[in-house]
Structure 1
């Protein structure tokens, strides 16, 4: 496993976090950005929390995926699962006001569907913090695999 970096550029961090957000720009100034991400992400104003979550593609999305997301989400393309993911992703975003983010960790989409069904009913404040933890776990895993 690759060690956490001591310094990363905005571009490198944008690749790990799916976009160049204000959060990524702040992390680029940190001496240990991925370790700092674990706490900094929870200190952000709500608007910036939503911004960093919404930079991620929706689970089951097939277009415009980064190479990281495409590899993580795999090729599991059961039309019924994809249709249900699209429906639940939309319901989740309507309920919570931000994108559903989960550390897929190469699990099949059918398994992620069950996670989404469970998390959709969480309180929004709890779900926001859960999604942010998942986001940082994704970035750390991506770093360890590069």
Structure 2
């Protein structure tokens, strides 16, 4: 496992956070970006919070995945579980206005379904902050496991 870096490029961060967003560009100017990300992500204006969350693929998405997301989401998903993930993802996005983000790596999709069911009725403000924390956890895990 690697230690957290003192600096990263925009390209490095875009890979970890699933896209080149305003957040990623700002984070690349920070010392200790993966440490600073935990605080900075919560200081973003609402539109930038949504932008960084929506850059992430939906849980259960099968096409257009980065190498990280493809490895984390796995190849074998029961079609019934996949259908339920798609339905709940759509319900979640309709309710909250942004993508559901959860740390998936090495967790069965049935467990993710339960997390999604539990979180879908949370207040949007709580969900927004939870999703942002999960997003940073994913990026940090990707770095240390690479």
So what's the TM-score if we normalise by structure 1? 0.99
Cα distance, 1:6 vs structure 2: 0.4
Query: Is 2:17 the counterpart of 1:17?
Result: yes
Structure 1 residue runs of 4 or more that deviate by more than 2 Å after TM superposition: none
Structure 2, unpaired ranges of 5+: none
Structure 1, unpaired ranges of 5+: none
**In 2: Cα distance, 1:104 partner to 1:95 partner:** 21
Root-mean-square deviation (CA, aligned residues, Å) is 0.6
Describe the superposition over 1:16-38 as per-residue Cα deviations: whole angstroms up to 9, x where unpaired: 00000000000000111000000
In the TM superposition, 1:33-72 aligns within 5 A as 33-72=33-72
**In 1: Cα distance, 2:29 partner to 2:107 partner:** 33
In the TM superposition, 1:40-119 aligns within 5 A as 40-119=40-119
**Would you say the 8 A contact 1:76–1:109 is kept in 2?**
no
So what's the TM-score if we normalise by structure 2? 0.99
Q: How many residues in Structure 1 have an aligned counterpart in Structure 2?
A: 146
Cα distance, 1:105 vs structure 2: 2.4
**In 2: Cα distance, 1:39 partner to 1:111 partner:** 28
**In 1: Cα distance, 2:109 partner to 2:5 partner:** 31
**Would you say the 8 A contact 1:68–1:142 is kept in 2?**
yes
